[in-house]
Amino acid sequence: MLFYKKLAEFNSPYTVAVVLMRTRQISESSNTPEAVFSSSLCELSATRARHTIPDIRPSTNDTYIEKACVDSAVIRGRETHIEGIANHILAGFVEQVEDAYGVEQCIAACYMALKQYGFHCMSAMWYPLDKEQNCLLNGESRKTQQKLFIAEDTGHQMIYFEHPDAALFRRMHDEIPLDQNSTAEHGWTAWSLCEGKEERVRYSKCKEHSDLRKCPKETEKCQGAANASSTQA
């Protein structure tokens, strides 16, 4: 279940948060996809916010709750209360860029990052208006890199969210030798997954852009496609 609520510690016009509730707390028979809760009122709705348009507006008194589903095999009993902020980014710590058709898929990609890419995903940024390369996985979070958690100032609608086990992941990360932290080449993100695609992509971790997707990238044909690679600015 997704919760959008005010975060009192941030003095900004974007005070929306997203939380995914534990799967055992979600009724399988529930057909109410969203609700709005305040101190004295709870409104239920048969529809939920469309993330491709600004349906959700900042509020100092209300909490927006949205039901979402992530495969239990991905969760595997781990903590699932995910907090996030709308239209804020963590600059400079993207380790992987993937495609996600919805926030649930981006959340799942963060949970699976250690198995698939060799790093602990502590937070992620999802851009619902972008069809491809719209899920950016971070190796740090706003709690570990507060000064680099900044407002998204290019006009892109997006949601930043944190893995609830980020503090534990930070300790685990510090205990792993540097050469075992990630499968990615130094200075680059890990290659994106093929999964039926003709080519995969990785990005240079340049310092010139807060949005890593504006940095130079390399593409490479997936196995079974013609063997070729290219570099693009």
Please, what are the domains in the chain?
2-184 (3.50.4.10)
- Confidence check: pLDDT of 21 > 50: no
* Cβ partners under 8 Å of residue 161, min gap 6: 18, 82, 83, 84, 85, 103, 107, 110, 123, 124, 126
Predicted local distance difference test score (pLDDT) of residue 91? 94
Q: Which of 77-91, 119-133, 165-179, 195-209 has the lowest mean pLDDT?
A: 165-179
* Percent of the chain whose pLDDT exceeds 90: 28
pLDDT digits (tens, 9 = 90+) for 22-56: 333 334 445 555 556 666 677 777 776 666 666 66
Distance, CA of 20 to CA of 65 (rounded, Å):
9
Predicted confidence band at 214 (pLDDT cuts at 50, 70, 90)?
A: very high
- Confidence check: pLDDT of 193 > 70: yes
For 70-100, the DSSP string reads --HHHHTT------EEETEEETT-EEEEE--
Select the more confidently predicted residue: 29 or 90.
90
Predicted local distance difference test score (pLDDT) of residue 25? 37
pLDDT digits (tens, 9 = 90+) for 158-169: 889 987 766 665
Distance, CA of 16 to CA of 53 (rounded, Å):
15
